[in-house]
Structures are given as structure tokens and as C-alpha cells.
Amino acid sequence: MRLAELHLRARGGPVFATGLGLVTLLSWIAGNWIAGRPYFDGPASRVPVVMLAPLLAAVLLGPTMAGADEELERGTARPWRRWRLGHLLLAVAAIGAAVTSTGLRAPEVFGAHALLRNTLGCVGLVALGAALLGARLAWLPAFGYVCAVYAAGPQTGDAARIWAWPLQASSVTASWLTAGGLFALGTIWYATLGAGAGHGPRPLPR
């Protein structure tokens, strides 16, 4: 227990928790405001909240995915793959529970299911970013991709069900499979290799 506490503190766990609380609060306020406006179409107008809340929470996760001295930590006798896996699973559970809770009272109005799906996809992209670019730039793939999809606007068609998964209705199975696949890929990659340095080959983790 003491080791877990030190692990989270060394990676900025308290800062992440504070930021996640703020994102959750803003998501709840924004969702209620949009749903309460008679001139908005509820299910369609909630898209900014459904996309941005999981994205911002996942972006906050990036800096926690490596310690201050990653190479020094790798030299210690710890099962790092398990620690990284636990770190990521704990984070996605915390983010998913927090942002999804803002829409549970009326899931079809506030997009609770889509919030959960987008959490899986965004956390997966951040984990991939951490493994490929390092913890500092882990946010970049998720931020760039989600912003590009949002800018492209509503998309229909079989292909869009996959590449535009953050924008799809929660009833679209392909969007869940894509987001879940990204999460699984990011989790396996990050748990196996850890956060990358952003340049050059890295020694295999212990």
C-alpha cells in the first residue's frame, strides 16, 4: 500500500485527481446547461461535452505515465509491467466512473454511454502516445485525432463508424469495437514497453 502511494505521488497522482474532479464538474455543468436550453437538440448538441470531457481527462493522464527518472526506476527490482497495467486500469476506471457519472441520470439525453466509450478510446490513444512519444507528449495523438474528427463534423457510412468513432451514437457497435481496440492496444503497448523517451532505442524493461 505504501509503495502504491509513493508510486502515485511520484507521478503526480494528486494533481491528476484534482484535474479530473474539475473536468467532471465542468462536464456536469455543461451537460445540464445544454440539456436545459429549449433551442438545442439535446442528443445532437451534447457532442462537444461527450467528446471533450473524456479527451481532457485522458490528456491529464499523460504526465502520470512516467516518473521523474524513468531509467532509474527501471533499474529497481519491480514487476514494472504489472505496475504499468495496474496504473492504466486504475486510471481508466477513475476517468470512466467520473465522466460517465455526469450523465447517468438520463443516459440517452446526456450521453453517458458515449462518454464511457470515448474514455476507452482516448485513454488508449494517450497510452499509445506515451509508449511512442514519451509521457510529455502522450496527449498529442489523442488531442490531434479527436479535434480533427470534431472539425470534420457529423459523418455517416460504414467507414465513418470506425474512423469517426468519437462522434457516433452509442448504439453503433463498430465505434465501441474501435474504441475498445485502441484501449487494448495502448494498454498492451504501454504495459510492455513503458513510456518512451521520444528518441532512440530503449532497453527492455525489467
pLDDT in tens, 41-70: 666 678 889 999 999 999 999 999 987 777
Give the pLDDT band (50/70/90) at residue 201. Answer: very low
The answer to the question of residue 205 being in a domain is no
**Does residue 199 fall inside a structural domain?**
no
Residue 156: give the domain boundaries: 1-71+78-193
Distance CA 65, CA 81 (A): 12
In a domain, 204, yes or no: no
- Within-domain flag for 13: yes
The answer to whether 11 and 130 are in contact (CB under 8 A) is no
- Of 63, 82, 68, 52, give the one whose Cα is nearest residue 17: 63
| Distant-in-sequence, close-in-space partners of 79: CB < 8 Å, separation ≥ 6 | none
- How many folded domains does the chain comprise? 1
Asked, for residue 202, whether it belongs to a domain, the answer is: no
- pLDDT average, residue stretch 30-34: 84
AA identity, residue 57: A
The predicted pLDDT at position 198 comes to 52
- 206 found inside a domain: no
Residue 175, in any domain of the structure: yes
Would residue 110 count as lying in a domain? yes
